Structure 1
Amino acid sequence: MSDDTRTEDADTAAASGVAAADCAPGLTLEEAAQGFAAIGSEARLAVVLALVKAGSAGLTVGDIQARTGMAASTLAHHLRFLAAGGLIFQEKQGRAVISRAAFDRLEHLAGFIMKECCADEWTPDAPAPDTPRHRTATDG
């Protein structure tokens, strides 16, 4: 991705009220949306989970087929979609194609969501927000 594209993505994120710095490291709001869209079906999620379980060695297309029960043409479609979304890598080894999970990208996606965990949760040592649910009857 070019620097110009990253600048445009940051402008888009800022226009939507989300600063680029608020996104997971190296991941813009648009990139996160694309990544989540890529695993947005049960079938593609099953493929990603199989590859994550396989670890860095990855799996051949035949191995993924055996683990997921998908037809070859359906699996090929999902693998192309996942590769385009940057969630998997594919490498030709002889006559076989080895697919591997893009662990860094998957970690960034998880981090994108988890960085917001409990951000709005009130804690006893934090000032109470001035909302009706936190006011007492004597507050007026």
Structure 2
Amino acid sequence: MTRIIEAVQLGHTGAPAQARELLTALWDEIGPAGDALHRCTLAHHLADLQDTLDAELRWDERALAAVSALTDERVKRHLPSLQVQAFLPSLYLNLADCHRRLGNPGPAREYLARAREHLAPLPDDPYGESIRAAVRDFVADDPTDRRRR
């Protein structure tokens, strides 16, 4: 997780190509059967670093697939306050966002509905409120509105 976090920070500080390269190398190192927390985290952040919407969508789908293999026991070893269910609103919202920007309002609405169904486990903190606000304000039919979380 330390290496993942360091690479993600590179992306946030203006080196997205380098961050993408490092995260992709970590993804290759971990492999499809690697630790689900690492796969989910990597895919979630790699989606934000893609040059095309199709590639972004594929990484968002990988993040959602990885979360299905994740357990509360595993995430609590990383951070005791985490719950797997709290990952879902953001993952679904990102999928809704990709579909909206691809001009697919039907799937965008479906993923938005799933995000809404999973808001309860979000913490009462700035992160939780930012996800709730993004879900509340999401417009599935507006491809120009970009709200990734």
TM-score norm. by structure 1 comes to 0.26
Structure with more of its chain in helix, by fraction: 2
TM-score norm. by structure 2 comes to 0.25
Structure with more of its chain in strand, by fraction: 1
Name which structure has the greater RCO, CA cutoff 8 Å, separation 6+.
1
Greater Rg, structure 1 or structure 2? 1
